Structure 1
Amino acid sequence: MSTTSATPSTEEPVRTRPRVEGEREREILEATLEALVEHGYDKLSFDAVATAAKASKATLYRRWPAKVDLVLDAMQLMLGVEADRHPDTGSLRGDLIAQACAKGGLSDDRPIKVFGSLMNSMQRDPELHDAIVTRLIAPKMAAAVRPFRAAQQRGEIGDDADLDTLARLLPAISIHEAMLTGSHPSQDRLVLLVDSVVLPACAATLHRA
């Protein structure tokens, strides 16, 4: 009776994907935001992020296969911040000022700089544009609309008002001015815009025939 000897396996051992999580992941994503502001999206490189974060470039590539994946995950750090919460002060004016002047709000330097570094690239790169709109801008706008919906229920805004348009007024003006001046709006400037632009626009919706 013949015996068959076992043949050693020539298959390579399965390599587990390196896990980057917790505080280390946050450090890398924070470094990505800083590099994004410094270099812009087009010139942002994995080399620059790896150097800033003191991480292996190979590890970054395994965790984030493309630059857009890394940038979008980094930008998620700007979601769920204090400025995205409804402060519920009891008035639209109070809510808008509280949101705009909170951490991560329109008076915060970082979000303005990050968006500024992406503007040109978003116009040329449909994949980047769609990803940012879906994963970042849409949740931000949903948070921005909440105070207007509450104000409408209190009778500060007309029943047929376009809340999405009203919610875009303050960020649109603030970001536009920041792009022109190179600096984020001050808290005093935001209060002035709320009082002179946003609230009058809301009040006008009450006088429709």
Structure 2
Amino acid sequence: MTITSESSHITRQRPRVEGDREDEILEATVMVLSELGYDRLTMDAVASAAKASKATLYRRWTTKAELVVDAVSRAKGCQPRSADTGTLRGDLLAMSCGEGGFTDDVPMSVMAALVTALHRDADLQQAFERIFLAPRIALVNEIYARAVARGEIGADVDVELLATALPAVMVHQSFVLNRKPDDAMIHRVIDNLILPAARGSRES
């Protein structure tokens, strides 16, 4: 019942930029990404926006993909969060609603800037899986493991499948229907799709 990722291994961290400069560079990266999109973003553009040298960027990040995904992963509103509320429903809502959740403007606008490039840029896809997705997959695994330990759901629940349901609906709402996701939609997906499927595994 554990989600796995081929790119979830830990790699050796390159030297960090001193002081607050790293945060400033990452903030500049998110700003440039939002303005230009991934394809038009360059290390030169980020260096200029951050008032840093391109050499400084390359000492810390090997590729544009690593810089962008690191910036996105650590941006305010994009960092994974969870809470042990005592129920699967409560945990899923805590992870999905509010700051950093699917209704937050920052994660969805960032995804809009990346979603097309993810399909055709192998470096970006690998960095996204390793840096952005892996910590979130770990949180989802913890949430469902606690639900199994509490006896809410069976140990055979297909976490990998269920974990994609809510993001898929939110992406469909945002990018296909052009509707801003809201808490009501999150509640509907969790209550009518995810929880019945998860609890059904216990009864089968």
Residues 1-209 of structure 1 aligned to structure 2 (within 5 Å): 20-78=17-75, 83-85=80-82, 87-182=83-178, 184-208=180-204
Task: Say which structure, 1 or 2, has more relative contact order (CA 8 Å, 6+ apart).
Answer: 2
Instruction: Work out the percentage of aligned pairs sharing the same amino acid.
Output: 45
- Distance in 1 between the 2:98 and 2:59 partners? 35
Instruction: Give the alignment's Cα RMSD to 1 decimal.
Output: 2.6
Q: Deviations over 1:39-73 (max 9, x none)?
A: 11111123332333233445434444531232132
Q: Which has the larger radius of gyration?
A: 1
Moved more, 95-104 or 180-189: 180-189
Q: By how many angstroms is 1:26 displaced?
A: 0.6
Any unmatched runs of 5+ in structure 1? Answer: 1-17
TM norm structure 1: 0.78
Number of equivalences: 190
- Distance in 2 between the 1:82 and 1:135 partners? 11
Any unmatched runs of 5+ in structure 2? Answer: 1-14
Q: By how many angstroms is 1:83 displaced?
A: 4.0
- Distance in 2 between the 1:127 and 1:19 partners? 21
- Distance in 2 between the 1:43 and 1:96 partners? 35
- One-letter amino acid of the counterpart of residue 121, structure 1: A
SS of the aligned residue for 1:20 comes to coil
Regions of 4+ moved over 6 Å = 79-82
SS of the aligned residue for 2:20 comes to helix
TM norm structure 2: 0.80
User: Structure 1 residues 207 and 77, CA, compared in 2 at 3 Å: closer, same or farther?
Assistant: same
SS of the aligned residue for 1:111 comes to helix
User: Structure 1 residues 123 and 32, CA, compared in 2 at 3 Å: closer, same or farther?
Assistant: same
Tell me the residue number matched to 1:3.
none
User: Structure 1 residues 201 and 79, CA, compared in 2 at 3 Å: closer, same or farther?
Assistant: farther
